[in-house]
Amino acid sequence: MQVTWGGVAIALVIGGMLLALVGAAYAANAVILTEIQATALASTKWNLNAELRDALLDQSRAAAWGLRAVALGTAAQVAGTFMQWWRPRP
């Protein structure tokens, strides 16, 4: 099997996309807060800051959706790259 410049390039592109996909999924999982976690973060020793808790939950949901969109876009790029690479040759 001969290693070609194009083969190395496609391997780097696909590898980079897969790393971005895994990284985005990992980050999305890390930023999701449950209501219990947000309540704990927004609580002081004597009182609860409900506005802070709600803001944390809103930000967590927005970040998770954004990172899911990045992951989906990366998956589409990987699929497109594979389709171009493995297209039928005449």
Q: pLDDT value at position 89?
A: 66
Q: pLDDT value at position 90?
A: 64
- Within the chain, residue ranges assigned H as helices are 5-31, 35-42, 50-85
Q: pLDDT value at position 88?
A: 66
pLDDT by residue for the chain (90 residues), tens only, comes to: 787 767 777 787 888 888 888 888 888 777 788 888 888 888 877 788 888 888 888 888 888 888 888 888 888 888 888 877 776 666
CA-based nearest residue to 24, from 90, 87, 74: 74
What is the value of pTM for the model shown? Answer: 0.64
Name 48's bridge partners: 43
Query: Which one-letter amino acid corresponds to residue 39?
Result: T
Quote the CA–CA distance of 27 and 74 in Å, as a whole number: 14
